[in-house]
Amino acid sequence: MKDGFDTTDCFVVEGKLALPYSYFAGRVGSKFLTTIRDEKRIMGIKCDKCKKVFVPPRQTCDVCMEDIRDNWVDVQNTGEVTNFTVVRYNDKHLPKKAPYILAMIKLDGADTSLVHVVEGMDVGKAKIGMKVQAVFARETTSTILDIDHFAPVS
Amino acid sequence: MSEKFGVKVEDIFNTMQERFRPEGAAGVDASFGYDIPGRGKWRLTVKDGTMKIEQADDLSGCVAVTRADPDTFVGVNIGKVDGTAAFTSGKISVEGDVGAVSTTFKLFKRFTPPKKELTVGEYILDMFGTLESRFQPQAAEGLDITIGYDIGGREGGRWTARIKDGKCTVKEGLALSPNLTMIVKAKDWVDLMLGEVDAMTLLSTGRAKVEGDMNLAVKLGELFAKYKAPGEEAEEGQQLLVLKKVISVGQRFATGPVMGKYLNGLKEKKILANKCPECGRTQVPPREICALCRVRCEEWVEVGPKGNVRLVDTAYYASPDPLSGETRETPYGLCYILLDGCKGQEVFAHFIRDDQLERIEMGWNEKKGTIVRPVWAEKRTGRVSDIKYFEIDE
């Protein structure tokens, strides 16, 4: 057969592949999310040994390897941007319309950063160290988007 | 039995003794009557931190007699109906000392219906039975709308919720022109309400349809509090979250010249096979090379469309359809058909009509199996599904 074979009958089938999946948030993750959803309150877990407060919470301290799953503490709804990027493309799995700021936010009272969206400001003006505050979603979905976004505090 | 909530009036009274809280009875020394039309009368006597409940025809001497229909009485006791609202609307009435009745509220722990697995039909009844009580008036300010629920399937039904002046009334049947109509099968609706599946999945796979004002559909979550199964609200312990989603990944399949010719043939109701120049066997669906002789096959023949069944597989477990994420109903039949013009092992696999599955006979050696014919899709796009299934040729 020649290089250029007969392509009369060639065509492309456009389809989509649907992948059903489920993600279990775990006991610690579930409590973190349901408290945000039901009480508009953000909680972390503190390691008794090294005194580090984890937000998002985890059941084992990654430094001491201690089981810390029951040491819930409250943290503030305000915090500081420790790093950020600007998302400049749209995709259906993304939570917001581009461009938006995706930031690591260290809440007051926490020692680790939470990744979330910062809205309510020009994306070009984002700065490391700026203060932000959680804005809770009116309609809840039992996901981390029950904090709709963080807004800058002037 | 109070149909609406699945709990008997008698259950409420019979469990009073075990639900009794002596600390709530301090300083109470009185008899209270309960008159539930159609079910009977009961007398509750409280004295010195103890209680006695008995059925009684005569309620004289009670400081107060509470009268309520069975549904309302059960509803209030299991926390599905707001007691104050039922009282102000007259569904509960009190003869005698109204203030004394309020002391009885502290006497008992909340009645917890025994947890049981509900059927889809029972869930549907409970979900629509509690719809009014789950209404959130603060979210409905200024709204004047009608919502229709068209719940399909044997266990389904039709309901209409009318929301006006901060009130919600639910009636059976579908209103003429609701602002919003939800069309979904009973099982899917139950799964949705229980959080087993999310609305986006149902809508994107076509298992649910919304007609009318889409903005209103988004607002529904605020208008009604989340449904809780009977017994669930009293359950201790935390809620564990599972996120269920369907990821949709775009994909393209390039047919190439051989598969392309075959699929284009299906559009014209033709089943095309190609023939090996060496061994003479046909391949359907065709492949560029004969799998046995390793030579290119360039001769085309039309086979079928009828054929005889050589083998039937009955599938009792279906994996999700990769194109929709939906799982087809089981059992279904997959059959291997020797199309007219093919011989030996040159079978073609397709579905068999669901209701004929049991009538199909398989053939072997010289014996022919049931003769079947393809049922073509009306709109054919060059896919294997252009043949919907095969059915008995009769």
Reported as a single tens digit per residue, the pLDDT across B130-148 is: 888 888 888 888 888 899 9
How far apart, in whole angstroms, are the C-alpha atoms of residue A82 and residue A110?
Answer: 12
- State whether residue A154 sits within 8 Å of chain B by CB: no
Q: Which of A138-152, B158-172, B192-206 has the lowest mean pLDDT?
A: B192-206
Interface test with B, best of A1, A6, A9 (most B CBs within 10 A): A9
Of all residues in chain B, the percent with pLDDT exceeding 90 is 25
How far apart, in whole angstroms, are the C-alpha atoms of residue B10 and residue B2?
Answer: 10
Q: Cβ contact (<8 Å) for A24 and B239?
A: no
Q: Cβ contact (<8 Å) for B251 and A29?
A: no
Q: Cβ contact (<8 Å) for A7 and B320?
A: no
Q: In Å, how far is B326's CA from the nearest CA of chain A?
A: 9
Residue B232: the pLDDT is 64
- Least Cα distance to A19 among B241, B315, B204 occurs for B204
Residues of B whose CB is below 8 A from A146: none
Average pLDDT over residues B209-220: 82
Residue A102: the pLDDT is 96
Residue B323: the pLDDT is 66
φ, ψ of residue B211 in degrees (nearest 5): -115, 135
Cis peptide before A56 (omega within 30 of 0): yes
Which helix H or strand E contains B190, and what residues bound it?
helix B186-193
Give the pLDDT band (50/70/90) at residue B115.
Answer: low
Q: Which structure tokens are listed for B358?
A: 């049991």
Q: In Å, how far is A96's CA from the nearest CA of chain B?
A: 17
Low-confidence ranges of chain A (pLDDT < 50): 1
Average pLDDT over residues B284-311: 91
**From A1, which residue of chain B is nearest by alpha-carbon distance?**
B296
Residue B152: the pLDDT is 87
Residue A112: the pLDDT is 95
Residues of B whose CB is below 8 A from A142: 195, 241, 243
Give the pLDDT band (50/70/90) at residue B282.
Answer: very high
How far apart, in whole angstroms, are the C-alpha atoms of residue B183 and residue B189?
Answer: 9
Q: Which residue spans within A88-138 are E strands per DSSP? A: 100-107, 114-118, 131-136
- State whether residue A25 sits within 8 Å of chain B by CB: yes
Q: Cβ contact (<8 Å) for B244 and A22?
A: yes
Average pLDDT over residues B58-69: 87
Give the pLDDT band (50/70/90) at residue B2.
Answer: low
Q: Which of B87-91, B162-166, B196-200 has the lowest mean pLDDT?
A: B87-91
Give the pLDDT band (50/70/90) at residue B75.
Answer: confident
Q: What is the pLDDT of residues B234-265, one digit of tens each?
A: 444 678 888 877 777 788 889 999 999 999 99
Q: Which of A128-137, B10-19, B295-304 has the lowest mean pLDDT?
A: B10-19
- State whether residue A9 sits within 8 Å of chain B by CB: yes
Q: In Å, how far is A21's CA from the nearest CA of chain B?
A: 6
Please provide the average confidence, as pLDDT, over all residues in chain B.
85
Residue A140: the pLDDT is 86
Report helix, strand or coil for B130: coil
Residues of B whose CB is below 8 A from A70: none
Q: Look at residue B370 and tell me whether its pLDDT is greater than 80.
A: yes
Q: Look at residue B322 and tell me whether its pLDDT is greater than 90.
A: no
How far apart, in whole angstroms, are the C-alpha atoms of residue A44 and residue A73?
Answer: 5
Q: In Å, how far is B18's CA from the nearest CA of chain A?
A: 32
Residue B246 neighbours by CB distance under 10 Å: 19
Interface test with A, best of B241, B253, B321 (most A CBs within 10 A): B241
**pTM for the complete prediction?**
0.43
Residue B308: the pLDDT is 93
Using an 8 Å Cβ cutoff, are B267 and B254 in contact? no
First to last CA, chain B: 52
Stronger pLDDT, B372 or A17, i.e. the higher one? B372
